[in-house]
Amino acid sequence: MSCCHVLDAPSQPDDTLWFYCFQIMRFGFPGLENVRSFDDFVLSYDRRNRVAYWVFEHLTKESVASNDAVDRAKCEFTEDASLHPFFRTVFTVTPSTPSYESGVPTPAVGVLRSNNSDYKGSGFDRGHLAAAGNHRLNQRHVDQTFLLSNMAPQVGRGFNRDSWNTLEKHVRKLTKKYINVYVCTGPLYLPRYASSTLCTGR
């Protein structure tokens, strides 16, 4: 297990970083694989699918309150540089490779940490798991929610921009009733019937 801060974190003792992590996770970890701690949320990253297994947040009325010093328009979707470069190679099988018939995977250009090209032309939104609106204490906090390790592919109209957005607002309203609100979010992979297709690594 590893805990780390990113985005030019200020110099702090290691025990302070762990304190942030365990304050958020005081009731336990859903899992211990590749845990990463940011200023205001903790996630476990799935390198195979290039999304988080789960993201955990501790919300208060202060963290979700409107803040004129925070400008979402300044945020950019960015690769998570805290994911080690040793995990940058993906393996795929395509009809154009000599090893295709033997079924042996061959190296292909790509990364195991999510990047913006994964979403380009896909028809899916880059959907926040830890919502940007949940982390308004300062610009740094909201910036961190735009790391692609905090994203999952989401249908835009009807879900990410509608139902999911409504759920995020409801969660924030809970901070008016409760002093502490703990939120665990993650992708759900549902089976469906589909025609047989060749895996291209995307």
The mean pLDDT value for 63-81 works out to 94
Domain ranges of the chain: 14-76+118-185
pLDDT digits (tens, 9 = 90+) for 15-64: 666 777 788 998 988 888 999 999 999 999 998 888 999 999 999 999 99
3-state SS string for 128-184 = ECCCHHHCCCCHHHHHHCCEHHHEEEEEHHHHHCCHHHHHHHHHHHHHHCCCCEEEE
State yes or no: pLDDT of 175 exceeds 50: yes
Examine the pLDDT at 93 and tell me if it is beyond 80.
Answer: no
Give mean pLDDT, residues 141-154. Answer: 96
Mean pLDDT of 183-189: 93
CB 149 within 8 A of CB 118: no
Which residues are part of the catalytic machinery? Answer: 128
Look at residue 65 in the predicted model and tell me its pLDDT.
Answer: 95
| β partners of residue 125 | 154
**Rounded to two decimals, what is the model's pTM?**
0.76
Cβ proximity of 130 and 151 under 8 Å? no
Q: Once rounded to an integer, what is the mean pLDDT over residues 111-126?
A: 86
> Integer distance in angstroms from the first to the last C-alpha of the chain?
27
196: tokens are 């047989």
Query: Which one is the CATH code of 14-76+118-185: 3.40.570.10, 3.40.50.2300, 3.40.50.1000, 2.70.160.11?
Result: 3.40.570.10
**Is 134 annotated among the ligand-binding residues?**
no
